[in-house]
Homo-oligomer: A and B are copies of this chain.
Amino acid sequence: ADQPAMAAARELQGRLTKPAGSLGALEELSVRLAGVAGTCPPPLPIPAAVAVFAGDHGVHAQAVSPWPQEVTAQMVANFLAGGAVVNAFARQAGAAVTVVDVGVATPLLQGPADDDASAAPMGGGEASAALVGGGDARPALVEANVRRGTRDMTVEPALTADEARAAVETGIRVAEGLIAAGAACLVAGDMGIANTTPAAALIAVFTGCTAEEATGRGTGIDDAMHAHKITVVRAALDRHAPDPADPLGVLATVGGLEHAAIAGFILAAAAHRIPVIIDGVIAASGALAAAAFAPDAVAAMVAGHLSVEPGAAVALAHLGLEPLLDLGMRLGEGSGAVLALPVVEAAVRVLHEVATFDSAGVSEK
């Protein structure tokens, strides 16, 4: 982070027509974003672009979710049709939605030839202006399926190192495409039935917490399934004993394709000095992996909200991030992060638009 830009933002906050510190977390956020951009005021984070990374999970066979696996593909179709919560929130926020099939098990009903969705097969990371078309644009599909779901991490590594690397690189390419198309802020979301189970394993490895502390109820499971889910996470950790100093190895053994892609997405945002808003427990687990690859990437991360999932709080605390919203949400899709976009924008807008005591002729105390 750029220290002179941060100092300039702090100094400017003190001259604006409001009591010093009266905007609380927004003031600190504005300072952080000045540091990310390396300039004060930092650019407004608009337009923002949302990427929803979708994948399936071999560990679904261990009965860790009450939902059938095909819901992942069905929800991808729902995203492309604009019918999911993240679509509604993104339309309101004026943010484009890109759905990335990085590992869905079921063949998608809507492919690139479908008239109802624009598809952008990943080539060499080239920019697509359609990816940042604003809130009214039709959601885009990026077909970058690394494999049709991970393997069951309780019996073997979920991914090979090459597969995990391919997913990380997909995330990087998607971010670079969106940035090249004009996105000034990225939002990382996810879809994947059973994906809170590998997220819990990732969080346990990267933070050192226990399986119990990292494992929540996901979409809403009962006590018995929750207890079972904890034993599944613990079994995977015991089998692979992943080394947190080897993030690619961690992602391969106990991760997921969307988790790995989100890690790459965040790394690319940070490398391009673009803020990236983290959603819930899946995105937070990907953020931990990104931080393990490159600790400086944390500077570009903004925690959009505090998910109900216990692992989210553990991960954000480990990253030193304070969530902006705390609304009892646990949906994923990037929904909580998109909801935080206006707060991020407002924090920056203050530095652009609010008058100083001098300019407005307002007396100081």
Q: Which residues of A approach B to under 8 Å, CB–CB?
A: 16-26, 65-68, 70-71, 74-75, 77-78, 81, 83-85, 87-89, 91-93, 219-220, 308, 324-331, 335, 339, 342-343, 345-346, 349-350, 352-355, 359-363, 365
Contact = CB atoms under 8 A, between A and B. Distances in A.
A342 B305 CA distance: 14
A71 to B, nearest CB: 5
A342 B92 contact: yes
Contact of A220 (B19, B66, B363): B19
A231 to B, nearest CB: 21
Given A66-B365, A362-B71, A24 B88 contact: no
Contact of A355 (B66, B78, B331, B342): B78
A140 to B, nearest CB: 19
A363 B72 CA distance: 10
Contact of A345 (B92, B324, B331, B363): B92
Contact of A78 (B17, B83, B328): B17
A25 B328 contact: yes
A22 B330 contact: yes
B342 A93 contact: yes
A170 to B, nearest CB: 25
A328 to B, nearest CB: 3
Nearest to A331: B22
A14 to B, nearest CB: 12
Contacts of A354: 83-85, 87-88
Nearest to A16: B85
Contacts of A339: 342-343, 346
A105 to B, nearest CB: 14
Contacts of A350: 85, 88
Question: Which of A19, A68, A81 counts the most chain B CB atoms within 10 A?
Answer: A19
Contact of A363 (B68, B81, B342, B346): B68
Given A81-B360, A346-B339, A328 B18 contact: no
A74 B362 contact: yes
